[in-house]
Structures are given as C-alpha cells and as structure tokens.
C-alpha cells in the first residue's frame, strides 16, 4: 500500500500535464509526434495548425500516405496548398 506522501507526490507530477484545449492544438501535437519535429520548428507547426487546422490535417495525412515523413515536406505542401485556395 502506498503512503499518503507517495500518493500526493505522484498527483503533483501528473497534474502538470494539461490536455489540449482546442482542436488545432491536438492536431499540432500529432504532427509534432508523427514527423519528430525538433524544438526549433514546434512554434511554426502550432502557427500553421492555428491558422488553418483543416488544411494542416489534410497535409499531414497526405505526407504520411506518401511516405514523405519530413517536416520540411509538410511545410512545403502546406504553403503550396494554402496559396492555391
């Protein structure tokens, strides 16, 4: 049986992680995970997803289907598709 001290200690650690509040945040986190984005490009992914979450979702699916699993290709296709509409 865990002591009260251990339970409270574990509760404090788990309460620091907050779930995403908006859909675009969930999509951005999925893109970051799928494409293994480094720290320097994370803010760009969040901005792209915030600007147009549907476009980011479609581009992500397109890149993953075509085995182009690089964040550079994601941004290239995102900009091309964004400029066409």
Predicted pLDDT at 11: 64
CA separation for the pair 81, 50 (Å, rounded): 16
Instruction: Let me know: does 67 contact 50? Beta carbons within 8 Å.
Output: no
CA separation for the pair 78, 22 (Å, rounded): 20
Does this model's pTM top 0.85? My answer is no
CA separation for the pair 59, 73 (Å, rounded): 9
Which one-letter DSSP state was computed for residue 81?
H
CA separation for the pair 79, 30 (Å, rounded): 19
| 22-74 pLDDT tens trace | 999 999 999 999 999 999 999 999 999 999 999 999 999 999 998 888 999 99
Q: Quick count: other Cβ atoms within 10 Å of Cβ 58?
A: 14
């Amino acid at each position: 049986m865990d002591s009260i001290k251990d339970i409270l200690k574990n509760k404090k650690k788990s309460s620091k992680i907050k779930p995403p509040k908006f859909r675009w945040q969930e999509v951005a986190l999925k893109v970051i995970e799928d494409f293994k984005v480094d720290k320097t490009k994370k803010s760009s992914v969040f901005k792209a997803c915030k600007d147009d979450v549907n476009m980011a979702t479609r581009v992500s699916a397109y890149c993953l289907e075509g085995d182009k699993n690089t964040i550079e290709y994601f941004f290239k296709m995102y900009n091309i598709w964004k400029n066409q509409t």
